[in-house]
Amino acid sequence: AQSVAQPEDQVNVAEGNPLTVKCTYSVSGNPYLFWYVQYPNRGLQFLLKYITGDNLVKGSYGFEAEFNKSQTSFHLKKPSALVSDSALYFCAVRDNTDSWGKLQFGAGTQVVVTP
């Protein structure tokens, strides 16, 4: 069975400071990992993915994530947070043998960036 843990319900950061949102996962096979962001009353926007290759993945809007197989983690990072980054962030995982659309999501982490 697949599972995703986002240990922090909320992350508070001042604008201009680095932002980190944590994610750990569990899958039986090789993981495909994703980060999505959700703004109020909106759908999910794709940020980045890890399929294979380099452990550091770069995505949209200056976000990046580091895949760590030994720690089964896929933390999302941004070097300098903006107030507009305030949103709900979801980490998701899929086993590479599972069907394309079946993602297991974490509970989400609310990011609050203060001016």
Q: Does 89 bind another protein (CB under 8 A)?
A: no
Q: Which of 57, 50, 36 is nearest to 96 (CA)?
A: 50
Q: Give the binding range for another protein (CB under 8 A) out of 8-16, 45-53, 66-74, 78-86.
A: 45-53
Q: Does 104 bind another protein (CB under 8 A)?
A: yes
Alpha-carbon span 38 to 45, nearest angstrom: 6
Phi, psi torsion values for 57, nearest 5 degrees? -115, 130
Figure out which of the listed residues 49, 62, 75, 77 binds another protein, where binding follows CB under 8 A. 49
Q: Which is nearer to another protein, 51 or 83 (CB)?
A: 51
Q: Does 58 bind another protein (CB under 8 A)?
A: no
Long-range contacts of residues 42-47, Cβ cutoff 8 Å, at least 24 apart: 44/90, 47/76, 47/89
Report the interface residues with another protein, using CB under 8 A: 32, 34, 36, 41-46, 49, 51, 90, 96, 98-108
